[in-house]
Amino acid sequence: MIREPLVLVVDDDESVRDAFTLALVDESYRVVTADSGDVAIAAAKRERPDLVFLDLSMPGKDGVQTLVELSALDPTIRVYIVTAFAEEYMERLRAARQRGISFQLASKPITDEQIRMIAAASLG
């Protein structure tokens, strides 16, 4: 039996998590959500996600810290950072990329169609 791809959605805003879930569940993806970096890391340890949609601006462990920890768990996890605050994190993101951490960037707001296109392109 072929396993449905697992998508982890990490955002402190419940409405954003819900929007991603609604966009993806009809496309045969399993979706797990996390409202913080710590919850995301715990979820990724339980079961490796095939794709992570990650917010940057979160209380506690921000998206860059979460990205670094996800990469330490498994550097092959595909991470798509979806944020309205990329500019203020750009220096830290550049540093992460220079250390070999792979990720893509997308800007909020993001449409359901864009979410599905990113998932389809990332998960082939």
Measured in whole angstroms, the distance separating CA 96 from the mean position of its chain's CA atoms is 15
Of 86 and 96, the structure prediction assigns the larger pLDDT to 96
Terminal Cα distance for the chain, rounded: 18
Q: Are 83 and 108 in contact (CB under 8 A)?
A: yes
Give the architecture-level CATH label for domain 6-123: 3-Layer(aba) Sandwich (3.40)
pLDDT in tens, 4-58: 999 999 999 999 999 999 999 988 899 999 999 999 999 999 999 999 999 999 9
Q: Are 74 and 112 in contact (CB under 8 A)?
A: no
Token pair listed for 38: 């710590």
pTM: 0.95
Domain ranges of the chain: 6-123
Res 1: pLDDT: 62
Sequence length of the chain is 124
